[in-house]
Structure 1
Amino acid sequence: MASSILIPFEFPDPEPVSPVLVEDLSSLEIVLLGHYGVPEQTPKESARDEFEDEVIERLEELAEPFIEAGADVRTRLVFGKDRAAAIDRVTIEEECAAELDPAPTEGIDRILVPLPDVAEFDRLPRFVDVLCEDTANTITLFHVVEGEEDHERGEEIVTETREGLLEVGFDPDAVDTRVSDTGSHDDEIIRVASEYDAVVMYEAESRLGDRIFGTLPDRIRNATGDPVIVVRRDY
């Protein structure tokens, strides 16, 4: 579904989503995923039998603020050992167009949008727009030049995406661009993200180090303390 977002909660100690994000995301279709991390030696069925009723009740409590804000909310519950696999599976099954990597926030004024070398577009504007509470928001389209790519191509990517945002109604004064050709790709995005209040980005390609160091969105969230919306690519 084009305007649906998955919001995962990790049990047994889930953290509620900040009221600011609840309000911002309430215009979307919300899928709340409760993932209960089962220890390696514990059968999933045993954990489900012992904790399912308690987790369902808590998941319903986490859904209540979204319902009160007027959102269309669905819930899913998974007992398992692999959180990332559960998120991927439920995202596909529920046809979610994006995932929220949540973090506490009291307000979002500056939004960073890192762009890949091939800047897709169809899904991006919707998930940038939901974070724009008013005309004071600043949106920065950011590209890191890497490999054989040159700075000129980076400028083309951010310029073309900016033009696309303006065509669908974004304020020209609110959308700026930024290109970097220094530092490693991921490190540079994390560094620049620290200057912003939230990040909206396309899903990054899987890398060998993801299971050790975490995915790029996870590392952005952990390093900056800011929420990250990860948009599925427009295939």
Structure 2
Amino acid sequence: MGGKRVRRRKTVPLGSLGRSRSPAPSRPTWPHPAMRSERSSNTVKKSFEGQTQRPSRFSTQNYYRIESVWPNMEHPNVLVFVEFPDPDVPTTGFLKGFKYPDAEVVGFYHLDDGESPEDARAERGDEFTSELEEIAERFEREGVRADHDLVFGHDRVAARQQIVERDAVDAILLPGAANTLGKVLIAARSLPNAERKATLLDIVAEDELLSVDLVHIADPDDPDGESEGQRILKQTASALADAGVPEMRINRTVRTGTDVAFELSQAARGYDLIVLGETERDLGDRIFGPIGEYIVDERDVPVLILR
């Protein structure tokens, strides 16, 4: 070989999650034996409201070793957003259903009026960083590569969106209390996004899925709303079946209502994961704030937003 391949932070365009996938090998032991004594002391600094990211968990040397364990595999980048001082953390049972994404665990602490990032970091930084390390290690034990950031700020939505755009993440996970990852509900909103829902299978292992239910919320004032919803669900189901989900596990439902967030929260009862898609009408606060967080707050179920 001409030299070591160095894994760098993604700079690929958005939408890369839809690339063709290599067959996934069986889940390896984590950390790999060759890596266990090689934690890095590298420092990688990024600014959020004048604050500095803690050192990255992996050196470029360790990244090279990881790539040698899983050659020629795609690794979608999932942002896992948790809020301090009481973060919701994905359970071990939930993480067992993950495939091979990279996780970027971001801890956010909301500053009070007049509270400076410097003072908050000095007072709570070490404590929160230690918790973030434990969360990242939970991912690593299940074969998911994890890095982490700690952010102090006044606007969690703006901070989250800044990270999403900076790192070109493929999906955002808002954690909930699910202990398994077998029953998934996918909200299918429009035809342009129907095939993108199949990119879920780049993150969640197909053989973990007991059922994949599709739901569309139709406008009760639209005379064609329900029939259009059925068309959207049919195309989404076809994309999932083509990606490897058995048709017998896919169910379709059209609900009617004017409050999309409320209808989705009602439909979310009993599921392990709710999947939303990002569209041009979902940008900013609409998708990164109220809808996803409303479902998490109401049902305590994880929400995955595909970009």
- State the TM-score bracket (shorter-chain normalisation): 0.7 to 0.9
| Structure 2 stretches lacking a partner, 5+ long | 1-15, 18-75
CA shift, 1:26, in A, is 5.4
CA shift, 1:110, in A, is 2.2
2:266 maps to which residue? 191
Deviates more, 1:132-141 or 1:31-40: 132-141
Relative to structure 1, the CA distance from residue 135 to residue 65 in structure 2 (aligned partners, 3 Å threshold; closer, same or farther) is: closer
**Whole-Å Cα distance in 2 between the matches of residues 88 and 9 of structure 1?**
14
Q: C-alpha offsets along residues 177-212 of structure 1, whole Å, 9 cap, x if unaligned?
A: 1112356333222211114332111137459996xx
**Whole-Å Cα distance in 2 between the matches of residues 56 and 209 of structure 1?**
27
CA shift, 1:95, in A, is 1.4
Instruction: Determine whether 1:142 maps to 2:142.
Output: no
CA shift, 1:32, in A, is 0.4
1:83 maps to which residue? 156
- Contact 1:97/1:123 (8 A) holds in 2: no
Tell me the TM-score normalized by structure 2.
0.67
Deviates more, 1:94-103 or 1:190-199: 190-199
- Tell me the secondary structure at the aligned position of residue 25 of structure 1: coil
2:95 maps to which residue? 22
Q: Which residues of 2 match residues 37-116 of structure 1 at below 5 A?
A: 37-116=110-189
2:77 maps to which residue? 4
Relative to structure 1, the CA distance from residue 53 to residue 218 in structure 2 (aligned partners, 3 Å threshold; closer, same or farther) is: same
Q: C-alpha offsets along residues 99-128 of structure 1, whole Å, 9 cap, x if unaligned?
A: 111111222332111111344145422325
- Contact 1:142/1:177 (8 A) holds in 2: yes
- Tell me the secondary structure at the aligned position of residue 305 of structure 2: strand
Q: Which residues of 2 match residues 114-129 of structure 1 at below 5 A?
A: 114-121=187-194, 123-127=196-200
Larger radius of gyration: 2
- Contact 2:84/2:107 (8 A) holds in 1: yes
| Structure 1 stretches lacking a partner, 5+ long | none
Identical aligned pairs, as a percentage? 24
- Contact 2:197/2:236 (8 A) holds in 1: no
- Contact 1:26/1:66 (8 A) holds in 2: no
Instruction: Determine whether 1:151 maps to 2:226.
Output: yes
CA RMSD in angstroms, aligned pairs only: 2.6
CA shift, 1:37, in A, is 1.7
Relative to structure 1, the CA distance from residue 69 to residue 81 in structure 2 (aligned partners, 3 Å threshold; closer, same or farther) is: same
**Whole-Å Cα distance in 2 between the matches of residues 185 and 229 of structure 1?**
17
- Contact 1:145/1:179 (8 A) holds in 2: yes
Which structure is richer in relative contact order (CA contacts within 8 A, separation 6 or more)?
Answer: 1
Tell me the TM-score normalized by structure 1.
0.86
- Tell me the secondary structure at the aligned position of residue 134 of structure 1: helix
- Contact 2:82/2:175 (8 A) holds in 1: no
| Corresponding residue pairs, total | 230
